[in-house]
Structure 1
């Protein structure tokens, strides 16, 4: 029996050591033994380039590398916070950077993986930023800037994002139903897994002639982690205490 794990939106940040320790404990105590671990975006609260690693980032990379060396394949998708994760990070952590979206198979079932932000089409302001931030030319221009400039830009973007979100209605920041239908039909799948919205749940999606499942991963905060687990037969969405991981 194979085990596949899906997590997202850990938002690792040096100034939030409890969540970081919880993630390290997850890699040490809960993830080992799984065949695959998929991290569907926003592993880090921010990433300004593979050349900007300090002791905090190095500790995370080492833990990912250890899990990989134990036999768990680690797959990392870019999120809206860490879209500058690059090949050096992947090589050092022994992980695989995967596209958004990515199509995989769980047994014989095709499954579509996404971060989820591209489905938030009711927020044109964000979609405009996303198109810019995912443009390779824009990314190369940012990575060419001195480290201090990139740090300042990251702080500015984080502040602007928080201010903008505080003014938006909740439904605008959620996925658009039409976008979900479009992507399911485009890829001809009946199972979609994503994060980004911080609204963990399992949704039935009416396709007219069929029904699909949309699994939404939760964000990690306030001593709570979220995981979607496939045990070879079924998918189960679980929350767990981060501080209990070493003792579970």
Structure 2
């Protein structure tokens, strides 16, 4: 029995190396797992479930093929794919989870999330997040023709890149007090998230209890996979270049 976690793949048609690593992972590893959790930012940016480009269809087909085998797949929206919704899930068999979700992993409870909500020191980003997550705004955006949405998204992405260049790395990292708050609120000792692109396993103590925060890595230069089984967990890498061909 094994449960897998991935995040921050930032899949895009311009990075075939990432896509190949993802496809290999799905067909050789995920297919053997009990469950797969995708903790956001699967895509560089998901414009909407009405994206019918060949690339989007390819990714959908990989998930559909996996869920058809009986593997449970769960998805938490990230800051790059917060527009991924019910239609994508219906077409792929993926289950969409809340932004912060408590799960049970082989006898141990854990809280999972993308991780951007932990970065509360980045006030400007949190304001942006609050705006784009307004239901009425998403409802309106989803009814705009796809090619117009793509133009809007391109402009937003450019603004975000410019904004990130002006921020310190510490501001864009998690706030430890917020981490502790989420752990305490959910009454768990284990947290798993992505977003920060700083893969690591952090151990610390709160009120005499050992806590663990596992940060998944991005897929810019190699794959990053967290494997969890009854014996424990292991944060691993997957080198690019090992395709199915």
TM-score scaled by length of structure 2: 0.97
What residue in structure 2 maps to residue 153 of structure 1?
152
**Alignment coverage as a number of residue pairs:** 245
> 2:238 & 2:156 partners in 1: Cα distance?
31
8 Å CA contact 2:20–2:243 kept in 1: the answer is no
What 5-or-longer segments of structure 2 have no aligned partner? none
> 1:21 & 1:240 partners in 2: Cα distance?
11
Structure 1 residue matching 2:104: 3-state secondary structure: strand
> 2:152 & 2:176 partners in 1: Cα distance?
33
> 1:47 & 1:179 partners in 2: Cα distance?
27
8 Å CA contact 1:26–1:245 kept in 2: the answer is no
* 1:33-182 alignment, distance < 5 Å: 33-182=32-181
CA displacement, residues 125-146 of structure 1 (integer Å, 9 cap, x when unaligned): 0000111111111111211222
The structural deviation recorded for 1:80 is 0.2
Structure 2 residue matching 1:154: 3-state secondary structure: helix
> 1:245 & 1:201 partners in 2: Cα distance?
26
> 1:22 & 1:14 partners in 2: Cα distance?
13
> 2:148 & 2:113 partners in 1: Cα distance?
30
Q: Which moved more, 1:129-138 or 1:184-193?
A: 129-138
What residue in structure 2 maps to residue 19 of structure 1?
18
Aligned pair partner of 2:232 in 228, 231, 234: 234
The structural deviation recorded for 1:232 is 1.9
The structural deviation recorded for 1:96 is 0.7
> 2:244 & 2:206 partners in 1: Cα distance?
42
What 5-or-longer segments of structure 1 have no aligned partner? none
CA displacement, residues 71-128 of structure 1 (integer Å, 9 cap, x when unaligned): 2111111000000001110011111111110110012211100000000000000000
**Pair 1:191 & 2:190 matched:** yes
> 2:156 & 2:21 partners in 1: Cα distance?
26
